[in-house]
A and B are shown apart, each in its own frame.
Chain A
């Protein structure tokens, strides 16, 4: 079983703050790194899929970077809003999918 670690486990920020989380994964047998946004009582929603070292993806105020050589990805949220409150999950794809336990973000109005 491969280890995918996310930090921090939870985060409380004020509205308007920018924030970032980390996903660490094994640097060998890498296929892809997925980021999901998961609101309470809903299903995970895909944010990004990244496959190449150095990949950067952006969707609105959310962006992500990927370093496959050292085995980490960062997710950034610029100017957090209350509607960004959710758990952010990463998943490492090798010959199967391994999920981290997520970072729970609460944005305080």
Chain B
């Protein structure tokens, strides 16, 4: 158990809908990262937040947005969902915003868009 929690564990929804994935980092960690793993692709970095501020952005679609709240939990919002958005979404946390720290991954949220 990494100490990072993600809810829900599974989510099934229809095309065109909007969903919110939630992540709570390890106690004391200030940075949260979001990743997507699709069937036909490896792990893709979406976005990083550090202490409430966006720090780095990867291949995140405009239909997707994220935020980190004052209690440091983070939410990833996915809207106008398409079949291709079906994937496993991981959240990870690390102590600071720097790249030289280990990231601790949560168990993931499996999103299925039908």
Contact = CB atoms under 8 A, between A and B. Distances in A.
Contacts of B25: none
Interface string B94-114: 000001111111111000000
B43 A96 contact: no
A96 B45 contact: yes
Contacts of B18: none
Question: Which bracket fits the contact residues of A?
Answer: 20 to 34
Given A31-B99, A32-B99, A49-B100, A99 B43 contact: yes
A62 to B, nearest CB: 14
A96 B107 CA distance: 22
Interface residues of B, number: 23
B56 A44 contact: no
B102 A96 contact: no
B105 A44 contact: yes
B84 interface: no
Given A31-B99, A49-B101, A43 B107 contact: yes
A32 B56 contact: no
B42 A101 contact: yes
For B33, B56, B57, which residue has the most chain A Cβ atoms within 10 angstroms? B56
A99 B44 contact: yes
A97 B105 contact: no
Nearest to B6: A43
Given A34-B103, A43-B106, A99-B43, 14 more contacts: A1-B59, A42-B107, A43-B2, A46-B102, A46-B103, A46-B104, A49-B102, A89-B42, A96-B48, A96-B57, A98-B45, A99-B44, A99-B45, A101-B42
**3 shortest A-B CB distances, which residue pairs?**
A46-B102, A43-B105, A93-B99
